[in-house]
Amino acid sequence: MEWFISLGAPWQALIASLFMYAMTAFGASFVFFSKNVGKGILTALTGAAAGIMIAASFFSLLLPAIEYEGALPSYVTATAGFAIGGAFIVLSDLALSHTQLNFHSIGDKKSALLYFAVTLHNVPEGMAVGVAFAQGAGAEGAVLSAALLALGIAVQNFPEGMCVAFPLRMKGMSPLKSFLFSQGSGAVEIPACVLGALAATFVAGLMPWALAFSAGAMVAVVCSELIPECFSGNKTVASAGVVLGFCMMMLLDVAFG
C-alpha cells in the first residue's frame, strides 16, 4: 500500500482504471459460457452497484467538493458542478435517443443505445476516479478513499459488462464480438481516468468543479440506467441490493476515508 501511495496521482489513476476495465471485461467474458444469465442475479448485482455509486457520489465526491476551499463559496461550486454533471448525462441520453445513425453492426437501435450510453457514462466515471486521486495528493486516507471509489465503480462494471454483452449475444451476435463490444465500453475509462488526474493536478481551481460534476454525472447515470434496469425485475431484490450496496460503500468510505 505504501508503494501505491508513493506514486503520483496519474499513475495511481492508471492502475485503478486498468482494474476497473478488467472488471468490465471479466463480466463480459461470461458471454462465452452462456447465452443468457439469471435475471435475479443481474437484478441483485445491478442494485448493489447503484447503491455503491450513490454512496460514492456523495462521500467520495460531493462531500469533498463542499469542503474544498476555492474562489467561490463551496455551495455554489458544488451545486452548479453537480447540476452541470447531471445535465451532461441527461442531454447526452436525449441526443442518443434521437440520433438517426444506422446500428446494424450492434444488433438494433435499442442495443446500440444501451452500448453508447454505457460507454458515454464511463467517461465521467473514469474522470471521477482520476480527480479523486488528484484530490488525495499522497495523503493515505484520501488515497484509500479514491481507491474505494475505484473499487465501487469496478464492482458496478462487472454486471455492466454482462448487461452489455448478453443483450448483444441474444440478438445473434457471436460470443467474441459481443465480448469485444462490451469490454470496449469499459476501455474508455482508462484515458478518462488519467486525464481527470492530470487536469485536476495542474488546475487546482478545477478540483471542486470536477468533483461535483462527476458526482452529478454518476447520480444521473444511476437514475437513468441502473435503477430502471434493476427495478424492472424483482423490486424486493433490487431494493435490498441498493441498500446493501450503499451501506457497504458508506461503511468502507467513512471507516477508512
Q: Is position 28 within any domain? A: yes
The 10 Å CB-count burial string (b at 16+, else e) for 140-158 is eebbbbbbbbbbbbbbbbb
Give the torsion sign (CA, 98, 100, 103, 109): positive
**pLDDT for residue 111:** 62
Q: Is position 2 within any domain? A: no
Domain that holds residue 238: 7-256
**pLDDT for residue 239:** 92
**pLDDT for residue 83:** 95
- State the total domains in the chain: 1
Angle of helix 74-97 relative to helix 109-136, nearest 10 degrees? Answer: 160
**pLDDT for residue 195:** 87
Q: Is position 190 within any domain? A: yes
**pLDDT for residue 106:** 55
| pLDDT by residue, tens only, the chain of 257 residues | 677 777 778 888 899 999 999 999 998 898 888 766 667 777 887 788 788 778 878 887 788 788 877 778 888 999 999 999 899 888 877 776 666 555 555 555 556 666 766 777 678 778 878 888 887 666 667 787 788 878 878 877 887 787 778 777 776 778 888 898 888 888 998 998 998 888 876 766 777 887 888 888 888 888 887 788 788 878 899 899 899 989 987 887 676 55
The 10 Å CB-count burial string (b at 16+, else e) for 56-78 is bbbbbbbbbbbebebeeeeeebb
Q: Is position 44 within any domain? A: yes
**pLDDT for residue 11:** 87
Q: Residue 136, SS3?
A: helix
Tell which residue, 128, 136, 13, has the closest CA to residue 81. 128
- Residue 69 corresponds to which cell in the numbers above? 476551499
Q: Is position 1 within any domain? A: no
**pLDDT for residue 90:** 85
Residue 128 region, left (φ>0) first, then alpha (ψ -120 to 50), else beta? alpha
**pLDDT for residue 77:** 92
- 1-10: list long-range contacts, CB under 8 Å, 24+ apart: 1/140, 4/143, 4/147, 5/138, 5/140, 5/143, 6/138, 8/201, 9/130, 9/133, 9/134, 9/136, 9/137, 9/197, 9/200, 9/201, 10/130, 10/194, 10/197, 10/198, 10/201
Q: Is position 76 within any domain? A: yes
Give the torsion sign (CA, 53, 55, 60, 65): positive
Q: Give the C-alpha separation, 247 to 164, whole Å.
A: 26
Q: Give the C-alpha separation, 109 to 43, whole Å.
A: 23
